[in-house]
Amino acid sequence: MTRSVSVVLGLVLALGGCSIADEQPEEQLAPSGQAVRAEALYAENCASCHDEQVAGAPSREALEGMTPAAITAALTTGVMREQGNALDRVDRFILAEYLGDGAAEADVAVDYCADRLQFAGAPLWNRWGVDKRNSRFQTEQSAGLSASDIPELELAWAFGFPGAQRARSQPAVTREAIFTGSQSGRVYALDTETGCAWWTYEAGAEVRNAPVIAEASNGRPETLYFGDVDGRVHAVDTLTGEEKWTRSIKDHPDGTITGSISLHDGILFVPMSSTEVISAYADDYECCTFRGGVTALNAKNGEHLWRWYTTGKPTNAGKSSKGVDILAPSGAPVWSTPTIDVERGLLYVGTGENYSSPANDKSDAIVALDLKSGRERWITQTIAGDSWNAACGRDPRANCPEEDGPDFDFGAPPILTTLASGKDILLAGQKSGEIFGLDPDDDGQILWRRRVGMGGFNGGIHWGMASDGQTLWVGIADTPGNRFAEGPPRPGIHAFEAATGKPLWSRIEPPTCPEVSYACMTALSAPPTAIRGAIFAGAHNGRLLAYSDKDGAVLWKQETNRAFETVNGVEAKGGTIDSAGVVVAGGMVIVNSGYDKFGEIPGNVLLVYRVKKD
């Protein structure tokens, strides 16, 4: 490619004037030169994925909704750093300025609260799964809401995340504050009544996961923990937002933290995932070397305690059709928050697919690790031989492994629950559309297994399920496009007897319009949340629903795919609800809406519903 001098000039001026610009008068800039250059860069380096939405790449339109700063961040420190590295700084700049809408809002955009934050009690919703066992079943007391209140719920306030195209950090909640991360990397502590900010914290990279709160000996919140996409764990004072420590757990250039951190007995368990699945798309990339796993850190100071990997060290496993080395085993990321079994001293982890061939025995598995040492106790692999990366697709590229799928991760953590009989069981759900009951007292033996949905890249079961020990509630996405899908799509909510997997009821929701579009899909990819009497779930089309736990009858429905007025004055709209589930706490129903991957509907809003006060 040749670069015209005028274009270099224009961008250097914009970069703030380094020396090469000085000799050239500004008028020589061809106004469209930069655009032509940017289009060419986009066509050569970005279009193959972003126009086709390979591996969930946001659409070009979604990229155009981002600010130049956010695009630059993605290309330098974010999920696109591998792709950004292939370009020089100038080209990255041209692209970001051209694609981004330029209307960068003030980064913080909040009204700070007048007082200082004080806590009257323990957290009401903590952790991704509300408890260490990941039940996603909220107690009546912490919910502050019963099923009969649900029809009276209305929007209390909305908060807009500036410059964001998605909102996927499921909040942690106390009576006083809602703690949530954001795409820009800012973490907010928002007042539950008014949405004013008690404090904000800059993580430096997107925070996608649900924060976890450590309590002091008096039960009051003390430290907030979360991970960012650049692989750093942050420990922050819950009262002030001041940093206590940060530590990177990254041991691979593409390493990232997507799943939420779990916490027990002073130890943080950090799930390790990566974007190498995307890097593999390039034919000259030596695929692959990322090893999924869990890192344990001392919660006090971030000291490294142990690390467990889903694969051994990758070694040469042949050559791709383009003659580039293949390295294996690799992949098997951990997307979800680990589940803690206090009684047995175990940590349960769901794993994803391998990236290169041959696949190993720890992908698509539920694995039990010793909490203290990280040593493996047992592995239950439900699908063997799953190897997949972004090079697979309609037109597979050189790095697509022989297995070519099915990409049926456990994106959802297993739920540990106690049955009416007093026996414990592990309930697991997979992107394949299958659910499982495993025996924690018999090395994870499969007690029952059942197909619920046809399966798909967004699940089957994608991010989670909910259970009270009697019933297992399963949201099914079943979006089309995975050639391993089995049977008809069954998007909606389904209930099963936890002890046996026996079906109790299903509520399948047909798409809301005839064409195949995420704006119409009723897919439940985000995890459901249960309280006594009701299940809350959010759909791809932006609908927020509450179902009766008896039969799936719809108790309440809200449209979040629309514009909202926000307490912080940021222009905001909802879109797809994905990845993060609904939080019910202190009489509030809280949800993040907007998700820009896989062709879903972008958005940037946090919504808080309460029972009408007359």
Choice from 6, 59, 142, 275 touching ligand HEC (CB under 6 A): 275
Choice from 272, 278, 349, 369 touching ligand HEC (CB under 6 A): 278
What does the alpha-carbon distance between residue 261 and residue 578 come to, in Å, rounded to a whole number? Answer: 19
Say how many C-beta atoms besides its own lie within 10 A of residue 59's C-beta: 18
Identify which of 202, 179, 167 has the alpha carbon closest to the alpha carbon of residue 123: 179
Length of the chain: 614
Cβ(356)–Cβ(326) below 8 Å? yes
Least distance (Å) between residue 568 CB and ligand HEC? 21
Least distance (Å) between residue 315 CB and ligand HEC? 25
Q: Sign of the C-alpha dihedral, residues 606, 609, 613, 614? A: positive
When the beta carbons of 334 and 347 are compared against ligand HEC, the nearer one is 334
When the beta carbons of 143 and 164 are compared against ligand HEC, the nearer one is 164
Identify which of 540, 552, 445, 541 has the alpha carbon closest to the alpha carbon of residue 506: 552
Contact region for ligand HEC (CB under 6 A) — 26-34, 275-283, 495-503, 546-554? 275-283
Place of tokens 């085993």: 329
- Report how far Cα 478 is from the mean position of its chain's Cα atoms: 18
What does the alpha-carbon distance between residue 275 and residue 261 come to, in Å, rounded to a whole number? Answer: 18
Least distance (Å) between residue 405 CB and ligand HEC? 16
Read off the tokens for 582: 């609904």
Cis-peptide into 527, omega within 30 deg: no
Read off the tokens for 292: 């999924």
Least distance (Å) between residue 306 CB and ligand HEC? 27
Place of tokens 């580039």: 324
Site for ligand HEC in 194-223 (CB under 6 A): 206
Q: How many residues bind ligand HEC (CB under 6 A)?
A: 27
Read off the tokens for 245: 């420590």
What does the alpha-carbon distance between residue 71 and residue 96 come to, in Å, rounded to a whole number? Answer: 5
Cis-peptide into 271, omega within 30 deg: no
Least distance (Å) between residue 569 CB and ligand HEC? 23
- The yes or no reply on residue 334 touching ligand HEC (CB under 6 A) is no
When the beta carbons of 63 and 425 are compared against ligand HEC, the nearer one is 63
Site for ligand HEC in 358-417 (CB under 6 A): 390
Least distance (Å) between residue 58 CB and ligand HEC? 5
When the beta carbons of 11 and 74 are compared against ligand HEC, the nearer one is 74
Site for ligand HEC in 97-156 (CB under 6 A): none
When the beta carbons of 228 and 341 are compared against ligand HEC, the nearer one is 228
When the beta carbons of 247 and 397 are compared against ligand HEC, the nearer one is 397
Least distance (Å) between residue 49 CB and ligand HEC? 3
Site for ligand HEC in 512-551 (CB under 6 A): none
**Distance linking the first and last C-alpha atoms of the chain:** 66
When the beta carbons of 221 and 603 are compared against ligand HEC, the nearer one is 603
- The yes or no reply on residue 281 touching ligand HEC (CB under 6 A) is yes
Choice from 186, 291, 597, 610 touching ligand HEC (CB under 6 A): 597
Q: Sign of the C-alpha dihedral, residues 493, 495, 496, 498? A: positive
Choice from 67, 83, 289, 560 touching ligand HEC (CB under 6 A): 83
Least distance (Å) between residue 579 CB and ligand HEC? 10
When the beta carbons of 206 and 478 are compared against ligand HEC, the nearer one is 206
Cis-peptide into 358, omega within 30 deg: yes
Least distance (Å) between residue 207 CB and ligand HEC? 11
Least distance (Å) between residue 347 CB and ligand HEC? 25
Read off the tokens for 517: 């579009």
Least distance (Å) between residue 96 CB and ligand HEC? 7
Least distance (Å) between residue 167 CB and ligand HEC? 12
Question: How distant, in Å, are the alpha carbons of 179, 227, 271, 569 from that of 337?
Answer: 17, 11, 6, 33
Place of tokens 């033996």: 445
Cβ(351)–Cβ(326) below 8 Å? no
Residue 268 phi/psi, 5° resolution?
-100, 135
- Which distant-in-sequence residues (6+ apart) come within 8 Å of 217 by Cβ? none
When the beta carbons of 89 and 451 are compared against ligand HEC, the nearer one is 89
What does the alpha-carbon distance between residue 362 and residue 311 come to, in Å, rounded to a whole number? Answer: 7
When the beta carbons of 355 and 609 are compared against ligand HEC, the nearer one is 355
Choice from 95, 178, 268, 521 touching ligand HEC (CB under 6 A): 95
Site for ligand HEC in 22-81 (CB under 6 A): 45-46, 48-50, 54-58, 63, 66, 71, 74-75, 78-80
What does the alpha-carbon distance between residue 121 and residue 504 come to, in Å, rounded to a whole number? Answer: 38
Q: Point out which residues bind ligand HEC (CB under 6 A).
A: 45-46, 48-50, 54-58, 63, 66, 71, 74-75, 78-80, 83, 87, 95, 206, 275, 278, 281, 390, 597
